[in-house]
Amino acid sequence: MSLTGGNRNDVTQLLPLLDKVPAVAGVVGRPRHRPDALLADRGYDHDKYRRLLWQRGIRPVIAERGQPHGSGLGVFRWVVERTIAWLHGFRRLRIRWERRDDIHEAFLGLATCLITHRHVQRLC
């Protein structure tokens, strides 16, 4: 995870975020460091980033600009939107009041733990 200013374009953080993906444990052999595919919206539609993803061995599944909606990415995107909505349920995260990054990230981690706890309680 990385924290940037609200005025930064998301696509500038695409490659640094991919570099921070930890190894996936549990499979015998060499651990995986990269995903098979990357799903993204129209904001990431640029030949430069598609080319860089292919060079890293990642298949880009990016909606194209100028094309009608209905690319099928919404089936997967709702998971991200729902998670962000859960985080916005915590007023402290909806509007960022903290000036220090570490405090904001601590509240984000706490909110994630509370969300997970609520879901586990529902299953039991």
Q: Which domain holds residue 9?
A: 1-69
Q: Would you state the pLDDT for residue 81?
A: 80
CA distance 75 to 47: 24
Asked if 64 and 79 sit in the same domain, the reply is no
Asked if 40 and 5 sit in the same domain, the reply is yes
Helix (H, G, I), strand (E, B) or coil at 1: coil
CA distance 10 to 41: 11
Average pLDDT (29-38) is 78
Helix (H, G, I), strand (E, B) or coil at 37: strand
pLDDT tens-digit readout, 61-120: 888 887 777 666 667 777 778 888 898 888 888 887 888 888 888 999 999 999 999 989
Asked if 26 and 54 sit in the same domain, the reply is yes
Asked if 85 and 118 sit in the same domain, the reply is yes
Residue pair 111/90 in contact by the 8 Å Cβ criterion: yes
Asked if 57 and 112 sit in the same domain, the reply is no
pTM, two decimals, is: 0.65
- Looking at the 3D structure of the chain, how many domains does it have? 2
Asked if 4 and 49 sit in the same domain, the reply is yes
Which band of pLDDT confidence, cut at 50, 70 and 90, is reported for residue 2?
Answer: low
